[in-house]
């Protein structure tokens, strides 16, 4: 076994690898060790001396491998040198297209290291925050960053291009980089205490961030995936995030109640509403909806209810008299009949999400009574973004369309319920979408025998989604 001690730099490994390759030493006979020292990681600004002709390698290595190796060299894993040499040996000994074999163990490891380094490079570019300090030569901007990998030199040219007009330093525990407006320099890593504290610019940055924060686009898990909490302690805006998240639902409701939303075309409203990230914000926003005239005579918006992770969603037409009073869907006579049918079909309503195509009660007066009136296409279209957003959040595997209005708004076509009832198809909303009658239609059948027969068919329809 041969021990090769190399500087922890790409150039150092490349020099040793060339010599080992020239001498024909297979990977299994080399133990790679890193030497100490403060040399720049990639030696980007020094050229490696040319090898003597007697030991120059006659083989050609694909440029793609060398570019990959430069990035992998920045990974912290001590095994990177051995894996790089093993891949190099294989490429130069009969496997020139090794990097195309993504299922290969060595290639898989190298690609994983490369991805981690590139991700760290991106995070450094996104989360470096400069603070101004007093310097004998004038203003100097200093930033502190804690990279996951040894990427300072790899990333230096980006910051030179981006901030060429100012003098700056980026301090890290591994290595520091400095730009004086003309030349780039490096120095050993430092402790966090060497970095400056807050400056006046950070107040401006926090004000800017609070104004560009869009509560309708908040997706907490996605945000933390892109901005892990590991970086928050060094970001001035991070202290604002908890309060901004708490205020998000109210801000969304305010946004959606503005005249722009009320008068916007259906396509624009649907885009805006679809960006609401949670059910509570969606319900609060719907409570202020004035996209069609139905809100004027309704008591309140009747939004959906049920588990947010329900397997089954029941979509009806619109709330009735009792629903309008109580603010809950399917609590009147039709709802009671629906509960009975669901039970007989073996479906627990408590495990279903129940909502309507239209969220306001449309009615006409008849004496002291309010009589249901069928919503028109404009009213159904105005409410479409709401139920679509509900389904997008619940993500059911089964959608049951109760009646023609629900079926037509889901399928975007005329639906003859009596002819198509019992049809179960896959749609963009659910793997199983069922068309059946609305329970209120059963209540309108005067003949008891015919009503019972229609009810049995309704129960049979419901069992089709089990």
* pLDDT tens-digit series, residues 382-398: 999 999 999 999 999 99
Rounded CA-CA distance 12/72 in Å is: 14
More confident residue, 216 or 41: 216
**Is the residue at 104 inside a domain?**
yes
Examine the pLDDT at 55 and tell me if it is beyond 60: no
Give the pLDDT of residue 217: 61
Of 85, 103, 123, the domain-final residue: 123
289 within a domain of the structure (yes/no): no
Same domain, 50 and 184: no
For residue 378, the domain's CATH number is 3.40.470.10
In a domain, 212, yes or no: no
406 shares a domain with 393: yes
Give CA–CA dist 254/259, Å, rounded. 10
Closest residue by Cα to residue 216 from 237, 247, 239: 247
pLDDT at 271: 73
Q: For the ranges 233-247, 298-312, 317-331, which has the lowest average pLDDT? A: 233-247
Domain shared by 300 and 408, yes or no: yes
Which pLDDT does position 8 carry in this prediction?
A: 86
299 and 426 assigned to the same domain:
yes
- Write the CB contacts of 76 (distance below 8 Å, at least 6 apart in sequence): 148, 149, 150
Question: pLDDT at position 138, please?
Answer: 76
**Which comes out higher in pLDDT, residue 63 or 215?**
63
Residues 6+ apart with CB under 8 A from 239: 206
Question: What is the model's pLDDT at position 350?
Answer: 96
In a domain, 169, yes or no: yes
In 3D, which of 382, 388, 314 has the Cα closest to residue 351?
314
Handedness of CA 268, 227, 115, 185 (dihedral sign): positive
Band of pLDDT at residue 268, cut at 50, 70 and 90: low
Distance between CA 32 and CA 12 in Å, rounded? 12
Query: Are 31 and 144 members of one domain?
Result: no
Per-residue b/e over 163-181, b at no fewer than 16 CB within 10 Å?
Answer: beeebbbbbbebbbbbbee
- pLDDT higher than threshold 50 for residue 64: yes
Average pLDDT over every residue of 11-27: 92
The arithmetic mean of pLDDT across residues 98-107, rounded, is: 94
Q: Which of 336, 325, 314 is nearest to 436 (CA)?
A: 314
User: Mean pLDDT score of the chain, rounded to an integer?
Assistant: 86
Q: Which of 132-141, 152-161, 447-456 has the lowest mean pLDDT?
A: 132-141
Residue 56 has pLDDT above 80, yes or no: no
The answer to whether residues 118 and 134 belong to one domain is no
| Count: domains in the chain | 3
Same domain, 40 and 168: no
**210 within some domain:** no
Q: What is the domain range of residue 155?
A: 128-194
Residue 318 sits in the same domain as residue 391 = yes
Residue at 95 is within a domain:
yes
Residues 369 and 391 in one domain: yes
Domain boundary among 94, 123, 152: 123
Residue 276 above 50 pLDDT? yes
Q: Are residues 95 and 136 in the same domain?
A: no
pLDDT band at 133 (very low <50, low <70, confident <90, very high): confident
Q: Which of 142, 168, 194 is the last residue of a domain?
A: 194
Q: Alpha-carbon distance 34 to 82, whole Å?
A: 11
- Which of the four pLDDT bands, split at 50, 70 and 90, describes residue 47? very low
Reported as a pLDDT band with limits 50, 70 and 90, residue 245 is confident
**Whether residue 435 sits in one domain with residue 304:** yes
**Does the residue 86 lie in any domain?**
yes
* Residue 186 within a domain: yes
Q: Are residues 338 and 437 in the same domain?
A: yes
Q: How high is the pLDDT of residue 198?
A: 67
């Amino acid at each position: 076994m041969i021990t090769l001690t190399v500087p922890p730099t790409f150039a150092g490994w490349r020099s040793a690898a060339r010599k080992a390759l020239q001498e024909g030493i297979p990977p299994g006979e080399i133990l790679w060790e890193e030497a100490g020292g403060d040399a720049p990681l990639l030696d980007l600004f020094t050229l490696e001396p040319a090898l003597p002709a007697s030991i120059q390698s006659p083989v050609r290595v694909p440029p793609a491998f060398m570019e990959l190796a430069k990035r992998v060299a920045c990974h912290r894993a001590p095994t990177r040198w051995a894996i790089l040499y093993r891949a190099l040996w294989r490429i130069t000994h009969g496997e020139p297209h090794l990097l195309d074999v993504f299922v290969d163990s060595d290639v898989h490891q190298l690609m994983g290291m490369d991805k981690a380094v590139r991700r760290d490079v991106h995070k450094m570019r996104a989360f470096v925050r400069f603070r101004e300090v007093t310097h004998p030569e004038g203003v100097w901007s200093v930033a502190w960053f804690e990279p996951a990998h040894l990427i300072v030199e790899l990333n230096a040219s980006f910051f030179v291009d981006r901030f060429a007009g100012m003098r700056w330093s980026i301090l890290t525990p591994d290595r520091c980089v400095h730009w004086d407006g003309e030349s780039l320099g490096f120095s050993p890593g430092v402790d966090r205490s060497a970095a400056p504290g807050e400056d006046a610019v950070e107040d401006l940055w926090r004000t800017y961030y609070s104004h560009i924060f869009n509560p309708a686009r908040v997706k907490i898990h996605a945000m933390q995936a892109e901005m892990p909490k590991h970086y928050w302690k060094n970001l001035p805006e991070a202290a604002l995030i908890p309060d901004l998240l708490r205020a998000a639902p109210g801000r969304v409701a305010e946004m959606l109640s503005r005249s722009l939303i009320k008068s916007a075309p259906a396509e624009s409203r649907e885009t805006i509403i679809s960006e609401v990230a949670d059910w509570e914000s969606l319900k609060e926003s719907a409570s202020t909806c004035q996209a069609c005239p139905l809100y004027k005579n309704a008591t309140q918006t009747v939004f959906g209810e049920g588990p947010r992770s329900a397997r089954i969603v029941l979509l009806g037409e619109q709330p009735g008299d009792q629903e309008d009073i109580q603010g809950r869907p399917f609590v009147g006579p039709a709802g009671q009949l629906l509960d009975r049918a669901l039970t007989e079909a073996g479906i627990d309503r408590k495990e279903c999400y129940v909502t309507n195509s239209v969220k306001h009660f449309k009615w006409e007066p008849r004496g002291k009574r309010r009589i249901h009136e069928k919503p028109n296409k404009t009213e159904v279209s105005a409410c479409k973004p709401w139920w679509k957003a509900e389904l997008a959040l619940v993500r059911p595997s089964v959608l049951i369309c109760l009646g023609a209005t629900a079926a037509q708004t889901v399928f975007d076509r005329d639906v003859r319920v009596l002819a198509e009832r019992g049809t179960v198809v896959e749609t963009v909303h659910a793997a199983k979408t069922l068309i059946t009658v609305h329970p209120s239609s059963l209540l309108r059948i005067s003949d008891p025998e015919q009503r019972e027969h229609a009810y049995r068919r309704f129960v049979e329809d419901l069992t089709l989604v089990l």
